[in-house]
Chain A
Amino acid sequence: MTERLRDQVDVEDPAVAELARLVRAADDLDPAPGAQHRVRERMAEPRQRWSWLHRPVVVLLVLLVVTPVVIAGVRTLVAPAPRPSPVAPVSDEATRSASSRPIASRRAIAPSPEPPATAQPIAIPEVRVPPAGSEAVAVPEVRAPRAGAAPASDARLEIHRSALVTAAPDAIASPVVSSEPAPAGPPARTPGPARVGGPRHTFAPSPPLVGGSATVAPAHEAELVLHALRLLRNDRDAAGALRELDLYRARFPDGDLAEEVLALSIEAHAALADGAARTLAAEYLRRFPHARFRALAERVQRASSSADDRPFR
């Protein structure tokens, strides 16, 4: 218990002694009549029943608990009741045609509540069959839906990108022999002799839509590039890879994998000792000056420059 100030007589601190003296000199507190009685009465009163609610911590806790409950209740009331989905009868023909369509197209058609009798006929992908004797692969004129790409497709893109980065192109070691200066225009694809007679690959995930010798190329750009990558790196078929890459450029002019396709084209042309590799390398450095395959492009340019600098024999 702290000693009252007025009772502190023998203290060493002169300030405290002075203060105690001042307090003692003051008159005793003479409360107004009834004031002390009111105080006593107030003390005798029981504490208010809900006074603990006034404490801020309690109020905060109550708000934290009540607010989510109220919000959930309001959402339940506001949200419309789920309507039964209209089930449209599907004929056998519609089912068959839908099953032979790419997944993205099926996904776009599936939620349509209209019955098949009134639905618009779905355009079957047009297949361009090459003329007899041509090496080109039949290409369905279907553009892969870019906005509707599924996460699995994105994952494939990433896998493909990593494959491109990790695999070291060993075909660049051979110098590129260029017989003419690099043209300034768009890269000219000169089919070399090695491009003829390469092994033909059919991509497994995409079933062929037409019979016979025509093969349907993969629908997704990642599959197309992956196919080209396999041809180039696994099968050492640079010509076939170039064919696939040209196909990609034709179908996806603004594709997401344009940079990778360009890098693969450089690698494939370099493997064929084609002078177009230098042009493509210059194009790559111009379009992607700080990209991942810059070293590849620069290596190809250096190799072709050293080949050009050789004295003519």
Chain B
Amino acid sequence: MSGDEIATLLGVPPATVRIHLHRARQAMIALVAQQRAQDER
């Protein structure tokens, strides 16, 4: 599903969808990095 489709479905602007996806991706990357750091120890 594209960002525009999600925006239409949720009734929010497409930019809002994109910023939410970006933040979610950053959060996921941070979680993975944290997990990797714990594994290396």
Contact = CB atoms under 8 A, between A and B. Distances in A.
Highest count of chain B CB atoms <10 Å: which of A14, A15, A47: A15
B36 A14 contact: yes
Contacts of A22: 32
A16 B9 contact: no
B32 A19 contact: yes
A39 B5 contact: yes
A51 B5 CA distance: 18
B33 interface: yes
A9 interface: no
Interface string B9-41: 101000000100110010011101100100000
Contacts of A18: 32, 36
Contact of B1 (A5, A15, A19, A39): A39
Contact of B9 (A13, A15, A43): A43
A43 B10 CA distance: 10
A5 B29 CA distance: 10
B8 A15 contact: no
Contacts of A42: 8-9
Given A2-B18, A43-B5, A16 B29 contact: yes
B36 A5 contact: no
A125 B41 CA distance: 106
Nearest to A47: B11
Q: Interface of chain A, helix or strand or loop or mixed?
A: helix
Contacts of B28: 19
Interface residues of B, number: 15
A2 B1 CA distance: 14
Nearest to A17: B32
A15 B5 CA distance: 28
A34 B5 CA distance: 16
B32 A51 contact: no
B18 to A, nearest CB: 7
Nearest to A43: B8
Highest count of chain A CB atoms <10 Å: which of B25, B29, B36: B29
Highest count of chain A CB atoms <10 Å: which of B1, B9, B28, B32: B32
Contacts of B32: 15-16, 18-19, 22
A170 B28 CA distance: 89
Contact of A15 (B18, B21, B22, B33): B33
A156 B1 CA distance: 82
Interface of B: 1, 5, 8-9, 11, 18, 21-22, 25, 28-30, 32-33, 36
Given A15-B30, A19-B28, A22-B32, 19 more contacts: A2-B21, A5-B25, A13-B29, A14-B33, A14-B36, A15-B29, A15-B32, A15-B33, A16-B29, A18-B32, A18-B36, A19-B29, A39-B1, A39-B5, A39-B9, A42-B8, A42-B9, A43-B8, A47-B11
